[in-house]
């Protein structure tokens, strides 16, 4: 099995078996342990690339195929998508390699004559490299930027056409690796030096953040010894905005996998109490593992559903973080599966509102609550907090900000900090 065939199998699992790309890709990489660095990079690039650009790829296939895209055999459709992605977006791969390798896959995974069909579609594209665009919005932007029209419409509704295009274009770009130095063990400057000793290039960012061009984090001895965590600037700012102090009790309502809970504990100098809640037992294990790796002792995990009120927690917290479940539109560059629109976004705001209401109940008088998401849709952000403040006159807004990939160089992330009067 080579990288292209591995990508084909992985994409089949994602598109037709509802697998998450990160888990399917990790499983495939383990099966292909003999792959060298180049093959692993090609596998990852093809999987993420086809998922991210699928809407455009399918439109182009439709311009050259005599069979409608949705009626193509599943493997053949993916093979065409893989071939076209290489032709349209991977300049270092020769046309002949992209076409010939796709034809070989079609012989293996398609019915008789499928190889000739794939060869015809791809070579026809190579001859002209032209395709028509829809005349109306949001269909035109959907094809140009490769987003489902319904998602384009939501971005345009909130930000206008020009700004929406800028945001979506940035979310198509690869994200840089951002690390958070463990303040209990080193500063940002010290982490840069330590990484340099490991042969990794890095530069200082805001606070304890460090930016890198990318490396195998799991293989880093510094990572295993708890000197840093992987965390983007937007998520990093959630705990910074909460501003937890040593000795305080902090509740993290939806804590898994533990990035923000551990950051809170680091900001407290591991002197306080962090109650990290999640609805799934196995995810609490991820939080415990992260705390152990980082050398943090003040995090206590609690199996808890954020939509259900815990009577014993009412009035006990100095600060509460509500990093609620969301559509994730701000992290598309890291999780292109979000473009597949598997989540019904209309179902999320009621859940988000209830989690925020419960978190507010757990605050002491004068306590601080931060509501945050990794989405850029206002129905999940400003509309939720505005409605909360309207219903709860005993709270005041202190700080509100949205971080954008095109202007802040971060994931899309929303933060609203409020105080109980």
The residues assigned a catalytic role are 374
Report d(CA 28, CA 178) in Å as an integer: 25
**Terminus-to-terminus CA distance in the chain, angstroms?**
63
Report d(CA 357, CA 308) in Å as an integer: 10
Residue keyed to tokens 């005041």: 396
User: Going by C-beta distance under 8 Å and a sequence separation of 6 or more, which residues neighbour residue 9?
Assistant: 28
DSSP three-state, residue 27: helix
Report d(CA 410, CA 232) in Å as an integer: 7
- C-alpha 224, offset from chain centre: 23
Q: Strand 273-278 and strand 299-303: pairing?
A: parallel
Instruction: Judge whether 203 and 193 are in contact, CB under 8 Å.
Output: no
Q: In what order do the strands lie in the sheet with 249-252?
A: 299-303, 273-278, 249-252, 317-323, 363-373, 413-420, 395-403
The count of C-alpha atoms lying within 13 angstroms of the C-alpha of 181, restricted to the half-sphere facing its C-beta, is 24
């Amino acid at each position: 099995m080579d990288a292209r065939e591995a990508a084909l199998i992985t994409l089949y699992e994602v598109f037709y078996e509802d697998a998450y790309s990160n888990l399917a890709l990790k499983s495939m990489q383990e099966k292909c342990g003999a792959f060298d660095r180049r093959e692993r990079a090609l596998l990852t690039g093809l999987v993420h690339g086809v998922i991210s650009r699928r809407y455009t790829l399918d439109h182009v296939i439709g311009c050259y195929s005599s069979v409608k895209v949705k009626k193509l055999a599943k493997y053949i459709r993916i093979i065409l998508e893989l071939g076209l992605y290489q032709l349209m977006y991977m300049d270092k791969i020769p046309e002949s390699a992209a076409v010939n390798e796709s034809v070989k896959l079609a012989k293996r995974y398609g019915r008789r004559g499928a190889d000739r069909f794939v060869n015809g579609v791809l070579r026809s594209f190579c001859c002209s490299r032209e395709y028509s665009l829809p005349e109306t919005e949001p269909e035109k932007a959907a094809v140009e930027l490769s987003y489902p029209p319904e998602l384009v419409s939501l971005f345009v509704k909130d930000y206008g056409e020009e700004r929406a295009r800028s945001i979506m274009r940035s979310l198509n770009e690869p994200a840089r690796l951002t690390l958070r130095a463990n303040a209990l063990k080193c500063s940002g400057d010290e982490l840069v030096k330590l990484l340099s000793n490991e042969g990794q290039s890095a530069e200082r960012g805001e606070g304890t953040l460090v930016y890198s061009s990318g490396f195998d984090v799991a293989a880093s001895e510094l990572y295993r010894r708890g000197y840093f965590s992987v965390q983007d600037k937007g998520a990093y700012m959630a705990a910074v905005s909460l501003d937890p102090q040593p000795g305080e009790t902090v509740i993290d309502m939806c804590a898994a996998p533990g990035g923000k809970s551990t950051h809170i504990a680091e900001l407290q100098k591991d002197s306080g109490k962090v109650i990290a809640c999640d609805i799934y037992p196995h995810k609490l294990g991820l939080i415990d593992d992260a705390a152990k790796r980082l050398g943090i002792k003040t995090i206590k995990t609690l199996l808890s559903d954020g939509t259900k009120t815990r009577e014993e927690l009412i009035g006990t917290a100095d600060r509460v973080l509500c990093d609620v479940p969301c559509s994730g539109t701000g992290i598309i560059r890291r999780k292109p599966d979000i473009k597949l629109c598997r989540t019904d976004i209309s179902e999320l705001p009621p859940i988000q509102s209830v989690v925020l209401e419960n978190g507010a109940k757990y605050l002491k008088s004068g306590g601080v609550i931060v509501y945050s998401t990794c989405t850029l849709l206002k129905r999940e952000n400003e509309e939720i907090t505005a409605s909360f403040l309207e219903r709860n006159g005993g709270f005041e807004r202190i700080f509100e900000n949205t971080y954008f990939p095109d202007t802040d160089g971060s994931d899309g992330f929303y933060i609203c900090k409020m105080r109980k009067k």
